[in-house]
A and B are shown apart, each in its own frame.
Chain A
Amino acid sequence: MTILETKVALRINGEAVEVPAGTSIHKACESAGIDTPTLCWAENLTPVNVCRVCVVEVEGSRALVPSCARPAEEGMVVETDSERVRHSRKMVLEFLGSGVNLEQAPELHEWMQRYGAEPERYDQYEMPAVRMGDAPKIQDNLFIRDYDQCVLCYKCVSACGDDAQHSFAIAVSGRGFGARISTEYDTPLPDSACVYCGNCIGVCPTGAIQFKTEFDLRAADDWRPDDQDVTRTICSYCGVGCNLELHTQDEKIIKVTSPSDHSVTNGHLCIKGRFGWQYVQPDEPPLNA
């Protein structure tokens, strides 16, 4: 079990950085204290490098390189803040902002400001085309899907598929700008392969998939992140010992996530751990002595 670690040395923005072989450029940047935005990368998923927000300039490479997917190599010379890099990040964020509802993605707004994205400059002559106008899909009492907020980062597909759940209830359908996350023939989720593990919610960066509890609180204008706490505990529903993060507001559990860096769950849960907590706070406690 002892793995001999080989190190590779590279330069990032002129600074010498040394990381274990196999480390992504993204991680190498992180270790050098450089914050690199990314939408489609997550600790617990295989990189798909589709959002292209994390691109960096690598000497000798004609196009920019997705830092999340590309391993650092010995002698690599990386620039993370060059004109080309800043331009690409700005444009990608601008593109997303020009066609998707990003209201519930505060991190994206920060980046857009950082890179000077101006999504409004596309608004001319009944254009641009947008990916908006569909009503949120509310097909059960556990979670909702609002694809107006979807940036097509593929994370939910990976989590539903072979990165975790292997249910494959949703996939990307269509092509190009018309591509959408969908069940087969857009079948309602209760009639699909979905087993309501909610691992798609766990990885969604924009609120396109969210707990019904969160959706309802937002609708009632009562979603208050500043008044929320997160408590880590262990699920009670079997002997596996899944780590839960209980999100509470006003002493009520409002949603449940799992830490993506824990070896038991890798951030993923089943229906019971994700949604089975209502009995802790029934409308009327069954045993209120």
Chain B
Amino acid sequence: MFGAGGGTSSYTEVEETDVILLWGSNAREAHPIYFHHVLKGLDNGATMYAVDPRRTSSAKFADVWLGLNVGTDVAMANALGREIIAAGLENREFIAHSSQGFEAYKAHVEPYTLDYAEQITGVPAEAIREMAHAYATAETAQILWTLGITEHHNGVDNVKSLCNLALLTGHVGRWGSGLVPLRGQNNVQGGGDMGALPNKFPGFQDIGDPEAHAKFEAVYGMEINPNPGIHLTLMFEAMDEGKIKGAYIIGENPADSEADVDHARKLLSGLDILVVQDIFMTRTAELADVVLPSSVGWAECDGTVTSSERRVQRVRAAVPAPGECRHDHDIIGELARRLGVDWGNPTPEELWDELRGLSPLHQGMSWDRLEAEGGLQWPCPTIDHPGSPFLHGWLWEDDLGGRDPSPFSVTEHEGPKEQLTAEFPLRLTTGRALDSYNTGVQSGGFENPIRYGDALDINPVDAAELNIENGERVLVTSPRGSVEMDVRVQPDIPIGLTFTTFHFPDLVDINLITNDEWDRDSGTAEFKAASIRVEKLLGPRSEG
């Protein structure tokens, strides 16, 4: 967003903001401690609009819940933009000074009238109007989102359409106003920071930038391939086309987590060589030719991770790794040695200092400072820089900090790739539950009273139509396959929509049926929208 890969705001800002748009995020369960900050904001008088197909536990805290149809976020956002402009509530001074492409944006969103939006999203026009006015007229406002925005085939468009709203109203680059994508894992942000992106060096420096390229080659003491790599989803396509024959997978479980997972498993199995480095014997590890046991990053290793507020923080070893498990960087170093390059045995701090020398964003974050200051938020370019609570303050500077004005994006409503049909009449979307995490390899380790396993949430009306009762087992089928599941009849889920978590692939192999349509820019699959049918299972219950 606005030229940097991170959320714009500090968590504490939401405590002081006036209007919150919680969009496609069930932070109450997926990011519980971030939601504590939201709750402080609500107690301090903020008004919250929750935009989500489901009335989630987060949405129940909202002043207004707008239950849009799955995959209609662009239409909703564009309608907000249109209404803000139509009502003359856009921040003209900010637009003139800090943005470009407004006229094109304005023309583009013109057809997205409130009535049109109601037709597409299913949300009453009046509520959309109210949200538009509240957001535009607020002194400070934040848009928070997570995978409900990104896990679509047009996830990047979704994000852009939200960024447009901030640009339109000036709700960015100021304390209390901003755009806050919450990260799903403790180091998604850090992975990006460190250059684990197909086209970036560490510190979000372009791989194609000759200056950066020369800098990294000088420090690494070797030639670096100037061509961008490919992201995970394209890797699977390349496997399919026979262009990738071997894979080295570190700490990822695609044999459970990929959409249309059956296809992914076949591809992984067909590789000439698969090396998996993990702390668990995951389903992916089971497919591997070589398994490299590693240690638990946050409890058995020293290092850093970066959070959703761009805060770099230290992880530390508290307990020894079991057996012959080794730290990831040890294993990688050893692998390099076997391949003929000796990197020595750098300590985590030495590795970090190398990064600081290469990434201006991290330059000022000495190991000592990270220890003493409870982490630091990038950019932190110098040793006396306090770190950056929020980004893009330059948008408000007279000379824009020497940058170009920020462009509006043009995004078109497309809707989910997979249409509802007579054969597959129900929409399936997926998400997290409070006590569990991803494919459950970690959270599966502890039992607790609030766990209910993966179940299909369905509206009472749909359940009645299908003659299904709460707790009953059903067959769920998408164009890609079928799974058996228990049903939870929930009044909080709209008619026509179903929902499940994905934490127990051993019990419910839900990604057999999720949709692997994916976003061409981000590579993220459309986990949030598949078409299914639900059938009553007759006869004895089979073990799932």
Which label, helix, strand, loop or mixed, suits the secondary structure of the A interface?
Answer: loop
Is A271 part of the binding interface, using a Cβ–Cβ cutoff of 8 Å?
Answer: yes
Please tell me which one of the listed residues A142, A266, A277, A282 contacts residue B448 in the complex, with CB atoms under 8 A apart. A142
Complex Cα spacing A73 to B47, Å:
34
Give the residues in chain B near A273, CB-CB below 8 Å: 33
Give the residues in chain A near B435, CB-CB below 8 Å: 195-196, 271-272
Please tell me which one of the listed residues B36, B389, B444, B449 contacts residue A189 in the complex, with CB atoms under 8 A apart. B449
**Size class of B's contact patch?**
35 or more
| Chain B binder among A22-30, A83-91, A93-101, A247-255 | A247-255
Please tell me which one of the listed residues A166, A195, A240, A248 contacts residue B33 in the complex, with CB atoms under 8 A apart. A240
- Indicate the member of A229, A262, A263 with the most B CB atoms within 10 Å: A263
- Given A239-B189, A253-B299, A253-B319, verify A278-B33 contact (CB < 8 Å): no
Shortest Cβ distance from A282 into chain B, in angstroms? 6
Cβ A276 vs Cβ B184 within 8 A: no
| Chain A binder among B68-76, B241-249, B321-329 | B321-329
Cβ B12 vs Cβ A279 within 8 A: no
Complex Cα spacing A164 to B32, Å:
10
Complex Cα spacing A10 to B433, Å:
52
Complex Cα spacing A266 to B374, Å:
12
Within 184-208 of B, Cβ neighbours of A (below 8 Å) are at 184-189
Cβ A252 vs Cβ B446 within 8 A: no
Cβ A270 vs Cβ B318 within 8 A: no
Is A6 part of the binding interface, using a Cβ–Cβ cutoff of 8 Å?
Answer: no
Is A220 part of the binding interface, using a Cβ–Cβ cutoff of 8 Å?
Answer: no
**Size class of A's contact patch?**
35 or more
Cβ B36 vs Cβ A241 within 8 A: no
Shortest Cβ distance from A211 into chain B, in angstroms? 12
Please tell me which one of the listed residues A141, A251, A259, A289 contacts residue B323 in the complex, with CB atoms under 8 A apart. A289
Within 270-321 of B, Cβ neighbours of A (below 8 Å) are at 278-281, 285, 291, 293, 296-300, 305-309, 311, 313-320
Cβ A233 vs Cβ B298 within 8 A: yes
Complex Cα spacing A243 to B183, Å:
16
Cβ A236 vs Cβ B445 within 8 A: no
Is B255 part of the binding interface, using a Cβ–Cβ cutoff of 8 Å?
Answer: no
Encode B363-392 as 1/0 by CB contact (under 8 A) with A: 000000000001100000000000001000
Cβ A165 vs Cβ B183 within 8 A: no
Cβ A165 vs Cβ B316 within 8 A: no
Cβ B434 vs Cβ A270 within 8 A: yes
- Given A195-B434, A235-B298, A288-B322, verify A268-B33 contact (CB < 8 Å): yes
Is B102 part of the binding interface, using a Cβ–Cβ cutoff of 8 Å?
Answer: no
Give the residues in chain B near A281, CB-CB below 8 Å: 319, 322
Cβ B33 vs Cβ A269 within 8 A: yes
Cβ B36 vs Cβ A268 within 8 A: yes
Complex Cα spacing A244 to B313, Å:
11
Give the residues in chain A near B434, CB-CB below 8 Å: 195, 270-272
Please tell me which one of the listed residues A235, A239, A278, A279 contacts residue B183 in the complex, with CB atoms under 8 A apart. A239
Is B182 part of the binding interface, using a Cβ–Cβ cutoff of 8 Å?
Answer: yes
Minimum CB distance partner of B371 in chain A: A232
Shortest Cβ distance from A273 into chain B, in angstroms? 8
Give the residues in chain B near A268, CB-CB below 8 Å: 33, 36
Is B11 part of the binding interface, using a Cβ–Cβ cutoff of 8 Å?
Answer: yes
Complex Cα spacing A141 to B320, Å:
25
Is B330 part of the binding interface, using a Cβ–Cβ cutoff of 8 Å?
Answer: no
Cβ B296 vs Cβ A237 within 8 A: no
Complex Cα spacing A141 to B449, Å:
9
Complex Cα spacing A242 to B306, Å:
11
Minimum CB distance partner of B304 in chain A: A234
Within 207-264 of A, Cβ neighbours of B (below 8 Å) are at 229, 231-244, 246, 248, 251-253, 259, 262-264
Cβ A279 vs Cβ B33 within 8 A: no
Give the residues in chain A near B447, CB-CB below 8 Å: 141
Cβ B305 vs Cβ A237 within 8 A: no
Complex Cα spacing A73 to B123, Å:
53
- Number of interchain pairs (Cβ within 8 Å): 194
Complex Cα spacing A272 to B443, Å:
7
Please tell me which one of the listed residues B285, B313, B445 contacts residue A279 in the complex, with CB atoms under 8 A apart. B445
- Given A287-B325, A288-B322, verify A238-B31 contact (CB < 8 Å): yes
Complex Cα spacing A164 to B296, Å:
29
Cβ A248 vs Cβ B318 within 8 A: yes
Within 436-468 of B, Cβ neighbours of A (below 8 Å) are at 436-437, 441-450
Shortest Cβ distance from A49 into chain B, in angstroms? 20
Shortest Cβ distance from B30 into chain A, in angstroms? 6
Cβ A240 vs Cβ B31 within 8 A: yes
Complex Cα spacing A273 to B298, Å:
11
Give the residues in chain A near B323, CB-CB below 8 Å: 285, 287-289
Is B135 part of the binding interface, using a Cβ–Cβ cutoff of 8 Å?
Answer: no
- Given A162-B43, A166-B39, A276-B445, verify A239-B308 contact (CB < 8 Å): yes
Cβ A263 vs Cβ B11 within 8 A: yes
Is A286 part of the binding interface, using a Cβ–Cβ cutoff of 8 Å?
Answer: yes
Give the residues in chain B near A277, CB-CB below 8 Å: 299, 445-446
Cβ A140 vs Cβ B449 within 8 A: yes
Give the residues in chain A near B504, CB-CB below 8 Å: none
- Given A196-B435, A275-B448, verify A287-B318 contact (CB < 8 Å): no
Complex Cα spacing A30 to B365, Å:
31
Complex Cα spacing A251 to B319, Å:
5
Is A190 part of the binding interface, using a Cβ–Cβ cutoff of 8 Å?
Answer: yes
- Given A251-B319, A276-B437, verify A239-B184 contact (CB < 8 Å): yes
- Given A238-B185, A242-B33, verify A233-B314 contact (CB < 8 Å): yes
Please tell me which one of the listed residues A1, A231, A237 contacts residue B317 in the complex, with CB atoms under 8 A apart. A231
Please tell me which one of the listed residues B31, B34, B314 contacts residue A234 in the complex, with CB atoms under 8 A apart. B314
Is B527 part of the binding interface, using a Cβ–Cβ cutoff of 8 Å?
Answer: no
- Given A142-B448, A241-B308, verify A236-B298 contact (CB < 8 Å): yes
Is A182 part of the binding interface, using a Cβ–Cβ cutoff of 8 Å?
Answer: no
| 21 residue pairs A–B, Cβ–Cβ below 8 Å | A139-B449, A142-B448, A195-B450, A236-B296, A238-B30, A239-B185, A239-B187, A240-B33, A241-B305, A241-B309, A246-B319, A262-B374, A268-B33, A268-B36, A271-B435, A272-B436, A280-B299, A280-B445, A281-B319, A287-B279, A289-B293
A-B interface, 9 closest residue pairs, ranked by CB to CB distance from nearest: A239-B183, A241-B307, A279-B445, A231-B318, A270-B32, A190-B449, A288-B323, A246-B318, A285-B322
Residues of A within 8 A of B (CB): 1, 139-142, 162, 164-166, 189-190, 194-197, 229, 231-244, 246, 248, 251-253, 259, 262-266, 268-273, 275-282, 285-289
| With A194-B450, A232-B314 already in contact, 14 other A-B pairs whose C-beta atoms are closer than 8 Å | A1-B389, A140-B449, A142-B446, A165-B36, A196-B450, A234-B305, A234-B313, A238-B184, A238-B437, A239-B186, A264-B11, A268-B33, A279-B443, A287-B279
